[in-house]
Amino acid sequence: MGNWERLVWNQRDVLLAGLSVTVEVCAIAFVAAVVGGLVLCLIRLYVAPLRPLAILLIEFFRDTPIFVQLMWVAYVWPEIFGFPNTFFNAGWLALGLQSSGYLAETFRAGIEAVPRGQRDAAFSAGMSQPQTFTRIVMPQVLLASAPSIVNQFTVIVKSSTLISVITVPDLMSQSQKLVNVWYEPIEILTATAAIYIAFVFLISLTGKLLADRLRRRYGLAAS
């Protein structure tokens, strides 16, 4: 018990500071992934001239290991594009780009699963194409894709442990620093693992509650 108090409880401020950075990086990366995935999906489905480019980007983001993308965004992009200008921005951008590839395919499958007859009925009722998409198509896509979207958020959280290699002071980075100071990894790394487990569990639980609420709102049975 003495080691736990000395190595974990007494270092809680350091671990919590790292956790706050992890939460921030993951939240920004998730928003970027959702927006980027939806944009890539819509381009692939509805913008024929840019469809090959969208497919190329989707496959590139999905097929490249996250570590390679992280190094590429952190060290190559600043030389070519002049951004990102900090390793923090490089971290969430790399995480968001990879997940956007997976979410683009998730959204595409959801959109294509909506029966064509529903769109035709909406058009016959006088709804425009944007109204049909936002009021008829997207609610169904989000409900059907909710488990995959939440799962992708948990993937971002687990992949975020790699941003420590570019000196972002996240939870994993702070944990490694404590191990290097005390040379007693069991308690520190066990506590770190427990924090990640709790974080992922909270995301999964929140996602399920939100999905159930949306199903009830739109008159569908929760499952």
List the chain domain ranges. Answer: 2-217
Task: Convert the pLDDT of each residue in 111-134 to its tens digit.
Answer: 998 888 888 888 888 888 888 888
Place 222 in a pLDDT band, splitting at 50, 70 and 90.
very low
Is the predicted pLDDT of residue 223 greater than 80, yes or no?
Answer: no
Place 99 in a pLDDT band, splitting at 50, 70 and 90.
very high
pTM summary value: 0.91
At 44 the pLDDT is: 95
Average pLDDT over residues 189-198: 96
Place 101 in a pLDDT band, splitting at 50, 70 and 90.
very high
Place 139 in a pLDDT band, splitting at 50, 70 and 90.
confident
Contacts of 71 (CB under 8 A, 6+ apart): 166
CATH 3.40.630.30 assigned to domain 2-217? The reply is no
Least confident segment among 11-25, 88-102, 120-134, 183-197: 120-134
DSSP 45-102: HH-GGGHHHHHHHHHHHHHS-HHHHHHIIIIIHHHHT----SHHHHHHHHHHHHHHHH
Task: Convert the pLDDT of each residue in 30-60 to its tens digit.
Answer: 999 999 999 999 999 999 999 999 999 999 9
Identify the DSSP state of 8: T
Is the predicted pLDDT of residue 207 greater than 60, yes or no?
Answer: yes
At 219 the pLDDT is: 57
Cα of 83 vs its chain's centroid, Å: 21
Is the predicted pLDDT of residue 218 greater than 70, yes or no?
Answer: no
Task: Convert the pLDDT of each residue in 8-36 to its tens digit.
Answer: 888 899 999 999 999 999 999 999 999 99
In the chain, pLDDT over 70 holds for what percent of residues? Answer: 97
Task: Convert the pLDDT of each residue in 153-170 to its tens digit.
Answer: 999 999 999 999 999 999
Is the predicted pLDDT of residue 214 greater than 50, yes or no?
Answer: yes
DSSP 89-137: HHHHHHHHHHHHHHHHHHHHHHHHHS-HHHHHHHHHTT--HHHHIIIII
